Amino acid sequence: MRSATPWSEVFDQLLLATGETLYMVVVSTVIAVLLGTPVGIWLQLTAPGGLRPRPVLHKVLGFVVDLGRSMPFLVLLVVLTSLTRLLLSSTIGPTAAIVPLSVGAIPFVGRLVQNVLAEVHVSVVEAAVTTGSSTLRIVRSVLLRESAPALVNAVGVTAIALLGYSAMAGVVGGGGLGDLAVRMGYQRFNDRYLWSTVVVLAVIATAIQLVTNRVARGVDRRRTTSV
């Protein structure tokens, strides 16, 4: 008869795993957004009806992006080990997990960003074109600025998706909450680990959502008067 793991021990492990998870999610979200946003902008610019329509390039780019998105994350983890070794000269640990997490999320962010930018109405974009603005200026002060609230939400969606994917980081010794839940909770039938990680994951996801909602409202300059 095993006695339950003392809460203090659970708590210590939980703290460590939460730190690892937050580290992986935050860093990979930042990298994925930084690299995925230009992909999304490029997709939208080259789209039919975009500012620089290039149908063939757009198709090829879209194909690559969708290929990346359809790749199961577990496969990506394994496939990208050599890239990880190249970049970090190590393939183990939370930092190593950041490479496949970021790379996997780039096409995801690309599509999200493209969809958000496509929502900016064509007559708004054309109005900017007729002012003689450069494409760069239109991207910056029209496309990105007009969709800023939706872009912030897209970052939140990405972070929550990466929170989910980071659970698989255990495969490369990345640790984190998902790994703790699987190793200690599921494989060793330890309910304290299982449920407490679930609670912490839910809290993190909710916090991400609350923060993005708040920031999205903050950057939204539309102020509709209540009539």
Partner 1 sequence: MITVENLTKTFPGSTGQVRALDGVNLDVAAGTVLGVVGPSGSGKSTLARCVGLLERPDSGSIRVDGTDLVSLDGIALRAARRQIGVVPQGDSLLRQRTAAGNVALPLEAAGVAGPQRRNRVAELLDLVGLTDKAGSYPDQLSGGQRQRIAVARALAASPSVLLADEPTSALDPDTTGSVLAVLDRARAELGVTVLVVTHDMGVVRRICDDAAVLENGRVVEHGKVLDLVSDAASRTAASLLPAVDQNPAAEGSFDRVADVVLIGFAAVGALLPEATSRFGVDLNLLGGGLTRLGETPVARFRVGLKGERADSALEWISEAGGSVRRTLSGPQGVAA
In the complex, the residues that contact partner 1 under the rule CB under 8 A are 121, 123-124, 126-134, 137, 141-142, 145-146, 148, 220-225
Shortest gap between Cβ of 132 and partner 1 (angstroms)? 4
Shortest gap between Cβ of 62 and partner 1 (angstroms)? 21
Q: Is the CB of 59 or the CB of 137 nearer to partner 1?
A: 137
**Cα gap 1→3, rounded to integer Å:** 7
Neighbouring residues of 13: CB distance < 8 A, sequence distance ≥ 6: 180, 184, 193
Q: Is the CB of 137 or the CB of 214 nearer to partner 1?
A: 137
Shortest gap between Cβ of 44 and partner 1 (angstroms)? 17
Terminus-to-terminus CA distance in the chain, angstroms? Answer: 67
Q: Is the CB of 3 or the CB of 134 nearer to partner 1?
A: 134
What number of CA atoms fall less than 13 Å from residue 100's CA on the CB side? 30
Of 43, 44, 154, the C-alpha closest to 105 is 154
Q: Is the CB of 1 or the CB of 136 nearer to partner 1?
A: 136
Neighbours of 168 (CB within 10 A): 21
Shortest gap between Cβ of 209 and partner 1 (angstroms)? 23
